[in-house]
Amino acid sequence: MIVQTAPDGKPHFISTMIEHMDLCGQIARAFGNETFEPIEDGDALYAIDNHDRGWDDYDQHPGLDVDTRLPYLMVQTPIDDTLKTNRGSPEFNERHSPYSGLLSSMHTWGLYNRRYGFSQFEVRTLNSISAPIPPENKVKIVTMLTGELQRQKRLRGELVKQAAARDEQKILQNYKHLQFCDTLALYFQLRHSSERSDETYIHVPKNKAADASIALKKIDDTTYSLAPFPFASDSASVLSRGRYMHPIPVGKEPNDLGVALRKLPADVQSYRLVPG
């Protein structure tokens, strides 16, 4: 679950991970021009569209954060639920193809390991690029991450057997595509427009051999420039879907937070991306 910040007294825009991945998919399909190769690998697009599908069940019945009185933000979700979602996403993608599973597993491992060094994006509540590994949960998290490295080795072997292996540069190019789409979507979905500042996206692939750093600047609440511009058209418009929710007062907790959230009117936030 993604919970956007909000001014005092205003409702928060809340997106499920399905809605987050929908925005990622819009970004992926707009990506590409004479400088930046488009994302054309079907298994890579599938991984971008589905990289967080381990959250499906949890987002139907999320927990209530007693501090914010809102659904837990993804990085603050209780550890056992977090581990289940982190394993579940590669499992879901692997059922589609070994390559989609490999990219999703790399995404899970990268969340705890600075996204393999290919991103400097910080999640709102952390002063870190990586997801936290609290000492009391270290054994559980390391066990999960070790399992993902084993999954990646196994899936690479399956790709070789199928004569469907991509070279390592192409794998990294598609992983970087996933990270760019993911973190650009999070830029909008995590922070209210009043809190958004300039951002630099590093290692955005031009092709499998060359990357670029893209400077994002806020023009107004709904318009943002990127330089160099990685999208096909003169501008790109995307929609972020979700619902607005006020913090739940003490004593007014619903029996099922997911049901209460889904009863709220669906809404959208619209963004226009233009060349810098």
CA 94 to chain CA centroid, Å, is: 18
Q: Are 223 and 196 in contact (CB under 8 A)?
A: no
What pLDDT is recorded for position 123? 82
Q: Are 46 and 73 in contact (CB under 8 A)?
A: no
Q: Domain count of the chain?
A: 1
* pTM, entire model: 0.95
CA distance 217 to 11: 25
Q: Please, what is the angle between helix 138-161 and helix 79-96, to 10°?
A: 0
Q: Are 113 and 148 in contact (CB under 8 A)?
A: no
The parent domain of residue 223 ranges over: 2-275
pLDDT in tens, 129-151: 788 888 999 999 999 999 999 99
CA of 101: how far to CAs of 16, 117, 145, 146, in Å? 21, 20, 14, 15
pLDDT in tens, 227-276: 999 999 899 999 999 999 999 999 999 999 999 999 999 999 999 999 99
55: confidence class by pLDDT, cuts 50, 70, 90: very high
pLDDT in tens, 178-203: 999 999 999 999 999 999 999 999 99
